[in-house]
Amino acid sequence: MNAGDAIEAERVLAASVAAGSNIPATIGMLHQLWLAGDEYDKVEQAVRTDAERVRKAQGPFWHDASLLVRLADRAVQWAEAGRDHKDPLVRAETLAHEIGNRDVEWLVRHRRGLAAEALGDTDGAIACYRTLMNEGCDHEETIERLLILLERTGRSSDALQMSTSLATRLRPGTLRDSVAKRATRLAREVGKVPAKARKPKAITRQTFGARVALTELPTDVLALEDTNNRSARFHALDALTGRLLAARLAGQPVATGQSNSDRIGIPSLTHEERALIVEAYSVERIESRGSWFIPDEIRVPGSVMDPNRTEMERGRSKVKGNPEAVYLWAVLAPAFAAMHSPIEVRSALGVRQHSRRPSGRACTTCLSNSAWTSVFSWTQCVTAAVGRG
């Protein structure tokens, strides 16, 4: 597969599995080749074979339903590349409904909302998440996406009504506490001014944040920061993030923490680096700056923390009193995901080089180009930051 011969790799892996191999890495690699090659019939057959395991799958990691969820995720990947291709999502939704695990079905249908978001259809995404909520879905990711989109689109009253209802409906725990805290904040914000006065006003002078939002190139954002004396505080943070990314890409672990713990840490931090993270990412400091979007509990993909862990082996942490976890979740994980995305579509290119379906090859190329564009933009930003430091 490293040589680009994905068809031969698939043949070898399929023969190994047919001979009785139950090595998870072998089976997982074969499934990845099927997904990358849009061989959805084979994926469906594999899911049906393991239907009983899918029926018994439970959160928070849903290991036994991961292939079904990854099938739905293909539609999200296409959407992120600008293509509205729902075939894998429809197949996954149909399978989930037939198998009969309600939570897994909600997990799969959540991807329809993610695909709508990626395509810029915010109203469609809200409608999808709202439908799931009305059916009784209590999944954290669905609740978070719905409330965030409602606030982002100026529907704070709807978000308040939804969060208030959820605070009484959800089971006791961190999710209910987070929703209740959001409801309290929204009640204060909505109650500050009469409803008629909450219409957006014309901006006579753009704020710094508004100008950043209208800027497309990362180098232009950095230039804007320099012009407005906003860049100095990022120098040390840029250096820290660069060091941790370099260590992780070199195959070194950068963080510790397990799914059954309440804390994630970065052991290699110096005293100065730890003080920097406390100053920038402690919950108290973030909320004092007017940001109330941080949940009470966060999860970081295991692959970001340690090369010996999979993405699904997430580290879990309370955010209160643990700014290192917030930094990993808000900064390092997204940066690592952007840099790693071209690798994830490389196998798809290998399959498509031997495919007889030109349209599939074109779409995979689109996915690859989108991934590399993201990395190129991020690299431009890093290069400019290093140059200015």
Note the pLDDT tens digit of each residue in 16-49: 878 887 787 778 788 888 888 888 999 999 999 9
6-198: CATH topology: 1.25.40
Q: What is the pLDDT of residues 244-277, one digit of tens each?
A: 988 888 888 888 876 556 678 899 999 989 999 9
Main-chain phi, psi angles of 298, to 5 degrees: -130, 160
Q: pLDDT exceeding 70 applies to what percent of the chain?
A: 78
Does 191 score more than 80 pLDDT?
A: no
- pLDDT at 175 (0 to 100): 84
Does 332 score more than 90 pLDDT?
A: no
Please, which pLDDT band fits residue 215 given cuts at 50, 70 and 90?
Answer: confident
Please, which pLDDT band fits residue 107 given cuts at 50, 70 and 90?
Answer: very high
- pLDDT at 382 (0 to 100): 52
- pLDDT at 92 (0 to 100): 95
Q: What is the mean pLDDT of residues 4-26?
A: 75
DSSP string for residues in 135-167: TT---HHHHHHHHHHHHHTT-HHHHHHHHHHHH
Does 179 score more than 60 pLDDT?
A: yes
Question: What letter represents residue 117's amino acid?
Answer: E
Enter the pTM of the model: 0.54
Does 324 score more than 60 pLDDT?
A: yes
- pLDDT at 114 (0 to 100): 93
Does 313 score more than 90 pLDDT?
A: no
H helix or E strand, kind and range, residue 170: none
Asked whether the beta carbons of 27 and 17 are under 8 A apart, the reply is: yes
Please, which pLDDT band fits residue 213 given cuts at 50, 70 and 90?
Answer: confident
- pLDDT at 264 (0 to 100): 85
**Burial group, residue 194, by CB count within 10 angstroms (0-12, 13-18, 19+):** exposed
Does 381 score more than 60 pLDDT?
A: no
- pLDDT at 300 (0 to 100): 83
**Burial group, residue 338, by CB count within 10 angstroms (0-12, 13-18, 19+):** middle
Reported in sequence order, the residue ranges of 37-119 that DSSP labels E, i.e. its strands, are none
Q: Which residue has the higher pLDDT, 121 or 31?
A: 121
- pLDDT at 361 (0 to 100): 43
Q: Give residues with Cβ within 8 angstroms of 185, minimum separation 6.
A: 292
Asked whether the beta carbons of 298 and 325 are under 8 A apart, the reply is: yes
Q: What is the pLDDT of residues 335-374, one digit of tens each?
A: 887 777 666 655 444 444 444 444 444 454 555 555 555 5
Does 2 score more than 70 pLDDT?
A: no
Q: Where are the domains of the chain?
A: 6-198, 208-388
Most confident stretch, 137-151, 223-237, 276-290, 352-366: 137-151
Does 196 score more than 70 pLDDT?
A: no
- pLDDT at 105 (0 to 100): 95
CA geometry: angle at 93 spanning 113 and 138, to 5°? 55
- pLDDT at 360 (0 to 100): 46
Q: What is the pLDDT of residues 86-100, one digit of tens each?
A: 999 999 999 999 999
